Amino acid sequence: MSERQLNPTLRWVAIVFAVFAVAWLSYAGVLHAMASHYGASSNPDDWPRASQIEPANAENWYRLGRYRQLDFEHSDLPLAITYYRRAVELDPHSPYYKLDLASALEMNGDDAEAEKYFRGAQENYPISAEVSWRYGNFLLRQQRLPEAYAEIHRAVMVDSKLLPLAVSRAWHSNPDVRVLLDQVLPNTVEADWQALSYMLQVGDATAALAVWNHLMALKPRIDWKILYAFIDLMINQDRFDEAGSVWRQALTAGGIFLPSSPANSLVFDGGFESDLSNGGFGWRQKDVLGADFDFDTEEKHSGSRSARVIFDRSQNPSYEHLYQEVLVAPSARYRFSGFLRTDHISTDSGMRFEIRDLRQPKDLDVLTTNETGTEPWTEEKAEFTTGPQTHLIYVFLRRIAGTHFDNKLSGTVWVDDVAIVPASGPQ
């Protein structure tokens, strides 16, 4: 055959091959498009069609397995396991297919084979938080606690978002705070704050104190919201000395060093030199209609500022919305002092201080002199003895609601240099 005859033959062969290849690729593309369409459908009845069109696509079988496992109306666990197995056969390197197969096998009562696939998933993806988390929870359900804690520890080391769940599940399996701190959680500030928050939710002050002590060794930045809830829990459980100790530790850790005046005063920041804490053993203030609270750097008895409340004559308030909780000893004698300044306090019921034991008000409820009109800085004094069961008292800026016809309160009151000292202290 001449070269002239050969070239047209080769060209025709090439053309036929190209046409065939294009047709095949077009056909395959159409099949893939159809499979993708059915696979992405919101109608589960379309998913088996995707698997029929592309039987070698592991994702299609996996999707069918999830549907048969999780859809309560169409649940078929044995069929789901069959679909999952097919997905794993087609893609043996996917840890997620193995995880869901393991979950289905556990639900079907085959724990031994379930563990095989949990371990297989971990071999495929040894640094995955999800794999360690799900395997750890499987071990928890098997009551294999040390192994479970090790896996959960691995999970939270990778993904700290799992910490709240890790604390809860470990605690339900074994309410031993040392196990939680030593075996489950990472030795981090974040983990300890999460553990402390959980102990507050369950109301376990003893465990909370253990977590707190562990946390303090890490020199954390204080989460004041959690701290205040912690102190409230201890007060509610009559753990007053421990509450005071935690408060002092928190102040030191937070770098808060306020001079008390006098030096042995039990009132925190009696001169209002720092912002209100609204928790713990600091000043608290609640908004009330007809009164506006602020600090005043121009008018003060000493230091850099005082607390100020302005009343707008719209209400007849029973005011006790600026206050502090103070730890004291039972059956002990104390001396109170505080300075008030008033400007045009309009009614016969004016401003004063009140010292009260809220639990046993019959044992302690002291009011200082009623201040009305306009008065310069005036020291209010009182001596009192705490009751035999009194550990905590409240100091209020107080106004008793007026009973006269013209009882709407207007004017301004300033507060500064509040102190409580043992009566044996210096005069």
In this predicted structure, the answer to whether residue 271 has a pLDDT above a threshold of 50 is yes
Confidence of residue 33 (pLDDT cuts 50, 70, 90): very low
Structure tokens at 215: 């946390």
Confidence of residue 112 (pLDDT cuts 50, 70, 90): very high
Task: Write the pLDDT tens digit of every residue in 121-143.
Answer: 999 999 999 999 999 999 999 99
Structure-model confidence comparison of residues 99 and 407, the more confident one: 99
So what's the pLDDT on residue 24?
Answer: 44
Structure tokens at 243: 């509450």
Architecture of domain 12-19+30-253 in this structure: Alpha Horseshoe (1.25)
Per-residue pLDDT, averaged over 375-387, amounts to: 97
> What's the CATH number for 283-422?
2.60.120.260
Evaluate the CA torsion angle 358, 362, 366, 371 in order and state its sign. positive
Q: Bridge partners of 154?
A: none
The radius of gyration of the chain from alpha carbons, rounded to an integer in Å, stands at 36
Query: Do 331 and 388 form a contact (C-beta atoms < 8 A)?
Result: yes
Task: Write the pLDDT tens digit of every residue in 229-246.
Answer: 999 999 999 999 999 999
Quick check: helix, strand or coil at residue 109?
A: coil
In this predicted structure, the answer to whether residue 23 has a pLDDT above a threshold of 90 is no
Evaluate the CA torsion angle 234, 238, 241, 242 in order and state its sign. negative
Task: Write the pLDDT tens digit of every residue in 64-75.
Answer: 899 889 886 778
What totals of helices (H) and strands (E) does the chain contain, helices first? 14, 10
Direct distance between the N- and C-terminal alpha carbons of the chain, in angstroms, rounded to an integer: 130
Confidence of residue 32 (pLDDT cuts 50, 70, 90): very low
Q: In the chain, what are the domain boundaries?
A: 12-19+30-253, 283-422
How far is Cα 101 from Cα 92, in angstroms, rounded to an integer? 12
Q: Bridge partners of 307?
A: 295, 415
Peptide bond into 262 cis (omega under 30): yes
How far is Cα 40 from Cα 56, in angstroms, rounded to an integer? 17
Angle CA 74–79–80, to nearest 5: 80
Mean pLDDT of the chain: 89
Q: Bridge partners of 352?
A: 398
Task: Write the pLDDT tens digit of every residue in 163-204.
Answer: 999 999 999 999 999 999 999 999 999 999 999 999 999 999
Quick check: helix, strand or coil at residue 166?
A: helix
So what's the pLDDT on residue 403?
Answer: 86
Angle CA 161–131–36, to nearest 5: 100
Evaluate the CA torsion angle 227, 229, 234, 240 in order and state its sign. positive
So what's the pLDDT on residue 39?
Answer: 44
In this predicted structure, the answer to whether residue 22 has a pLDDT above a threshold of 80 is no
So what's the pLDDT on residue 400?
Answer: 95
Query: Do 86 and 79 form a contact (C-beta atoms < 8 A)?
Result: no
Q: What DSSP string runs through 121-134? A: HHHH-TT-HHHHHH
How far is Cα 424 from Cα 113, in angstroms, rounded to an integer? 75
Task: Write the pLDDT tens digit of every residue in 197-229.
Answer: 999 999 999 999 999 999 999 999 999 999 999
How far is Cα 291 from Cα 273, in angstroms, rounded to an integer? 21
Model-level pTM greater than 0.75?
yes
In this predicted structure, the answer to whether residue 144 has a pLDDT above a threshold of 50 is yes
